[in-house]
């Protein structure tokens, strides 16, 4: 074989080898179900141990572990009213191994109130599922002088009670003052809704806004006169929506809709921003499966104290949060003005 012929043969062999290498099958990306096997998932709770949001997360931990063959650990990051955990989740690696649960009303309320410690953007989180939908009511004393919206509007120098200056109750009270045009101030510093109910009963404040407070209602300390929504709540169908009692439009109507979409008291199951579509889809499919499982629903009902829960898909929650974020600057301006005018 001549030297030129040898070189031609070698060149042909190298060419064929290169073609074969190019035709070799590419490595397939790891399926989410395989990715989770043997891993450890950190589940971040932003709520105090024993409250519904924390207990729901612990139920999810059990189902998540069973469906992924991963270990789950629940960590408590409830500092600064849960903002510690929310910010931690926002900055976590979006690999699907750090997930968490937080209360929607506080999660969104922090941003509406412009809390500087809320180092996250609500539209950027990855939403897996929302559980529950507890609307906000305005309560007064059953024996007090304010039994209707007309009574409230006729009142002078009214005092409405709240807990922390930037908390959910304060946010609700400010909303009620604006929507009804009340001559009122929000008095903060009460230690929880039980103390607020006592203050209402004693006449120290005329009322306050919060979700369903069944214990205080049954004790005859408070009664709801309306719900901050455009429609009645199936959980308390005898209580009118505020839009039945007052003609609202424009900015005021937008505020009411904020309270029945983003500022509802629900438990948000979330992941950090930037989760891959395949892992997010995998987790959402699991969550949707759990929501149809009778055993799962019974466990959730037991810890929440309700017989009927609302389960909202991650896609739907994402849309609500994106819409809320788009109007956030407007809501922040509204509440900044309300705080200046009506918080004592």
The pLDDT tens digits of the residues spanning 47-98 come to 888 888 999 999 999 999 999 999 999 999 988 888 899 999 999 999 999 9
- Given this model, what pLDDT does residue 304 score? 84
Q: Does an H or E element contain 73, and which?
A: strand 71-76
Rounded Cα gap, residues 336 and 166, in angstroms: 11
Angle subtended by helix axes 277-291 and 52-68, to nearest 10: 110
Q: DSSP secondary structure string, 280-339?
A: HHHHHHHHHHHHT-HHHHHHHHHHHT-S---EEEHHHHHHHHHHHHHTHHHHHHHHHHHH
In Å, how far are 76, 77, 78, 201 from 49, measured between CA atoms? 8, 10, 9, 29
- Given this model, what pLDDT does residue 114 score? 87
Residues of the chain with pLDDT under 50: 1, 3, 5-16, 19-21, 24
pTM of the model: 0.86
- Both structure tokens of 93: 């690696």
Residue 126 DSSP code: E
Nearest to 272 by CA among 73, 142, 120, 167: 120
- Given this model, what pLDDT does residue 162 score? 97
Nearest to 207 by CA among 147, 259, 138: 138
Q: Could you tell me if 127 and 270 are in contact, meaning their C-beta atoms sit under 8 angstroms apart?
A: yes
Sheet order of strands, 137-140 included: 184-187, 158-161, 207-210, 137-140, 223-227
Burial (0-12, 13-18, 19+ Cβ within 10 Å), 216: buried
Rounded Cα gap, residues 301 and 134, in angstroms: 13
Q: Could you tell me if 128 and 188 are in contact, meaning their C-beta atoms sit under 8 angstroms apart?
A: no
pLDDT in tens, 26-35: 555 688 889 9
- Given this model, what pLDDT does residue 157 score? 97
By DSSP bridging, strand 98-103 and strand 40-45 are parallel
By DSSP bridging, strand 40-45 and strand 71-76 are parallel
- Given this model, what pLDDT does residue 308 score? 65
- Given this model, what pLDDT does residue 146 score? 97
List, in order of start, the domains of the chain with CATH numbers.
32-133+264-332 (3.40.190.150), 137-261 (3.40.190.10)
The H-assigned helical ranges of the chain are 3-23, 32-36, 52-68, 83-91, 104-112, 149-154, 168-180, 192-202, 214-218, 242-245, 250-261, 277-291, 294-304, 314-326, 328-342
Rounded Cα gap, residues 318 and 97, in angstroms: 20
Nearest to 105 by CA among 272, 234, 313, 260: 260
Rounded Cα gap, residues 74 and 40, in angstroms: 11
């Amino acid at each position: 074989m001549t030297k030129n012929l040898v070189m031609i043969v070698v060149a042909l062999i190298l060419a064929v080898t290169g073609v074969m290498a190019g035709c070799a099958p590419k490595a397939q990306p790891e399926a989410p179900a395989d990715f989770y096997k043997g891993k450890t998932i950190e589940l971040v709770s932003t709520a105090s141990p024993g409250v519904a949001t924390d207990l729901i997360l612990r139920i999810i931990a059990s189902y998540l572990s069973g469906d992924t063959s991963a270990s789950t650990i629940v960590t408590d990051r409830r500092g600064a009213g849960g903002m510690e955990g929310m910010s931690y989740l926002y900055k976590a690696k979006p690999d699907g191994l750090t997930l968490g649960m937080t209360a929607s009303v506080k999660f969104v309320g922090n941003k509406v109130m412009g809390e500087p410690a809320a180092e996250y953007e609500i539209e950027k989180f990855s939403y897996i599922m929302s559980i529950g939908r507890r609307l906000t009511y305005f309560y007064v004393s059953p024996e007090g002088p304010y039994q209707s919206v007309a009574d409230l509007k006729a009142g002078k120098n009214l005092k409405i009670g709240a807990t922390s200056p930037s908390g959910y109750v304060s946010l609700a009270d400010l909303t009620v003052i604006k929507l009804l045009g009340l001559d009122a101030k929000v008095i903060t510093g009460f230690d929880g809704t039980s103390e607020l109910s006592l203050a209402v009963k004693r006449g120290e404040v005329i009322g306050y806004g919060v979700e369903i407070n069944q214990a205080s209602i049954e004790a005859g300390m408070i009664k709801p006169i309306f719900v901050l929504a455009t429609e009645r709540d199936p959980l308390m169908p005898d209580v009118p929506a505020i839009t039945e009692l007052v003609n609202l439009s424009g900015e005021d109507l937008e505020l009411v809709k904020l309270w029945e979409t983003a500022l509802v008291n629900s438990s948000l199951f979330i992941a950090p921003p930037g989760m891959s579509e395949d892992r997010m889809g995998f987790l959402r499919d699991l969550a949707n499966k759990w929501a149809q499982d009778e055993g799962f629903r019974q466990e959730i009902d037991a810890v929440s104290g309700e017989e009927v829960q609302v389960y909202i898909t991650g896609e739907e929650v994402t849309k609500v949060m994106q819409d809320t974020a788009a109007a956030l600057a407007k809501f922040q301006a509204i509440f900044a003005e309300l705080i200046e005018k009506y918080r004592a």
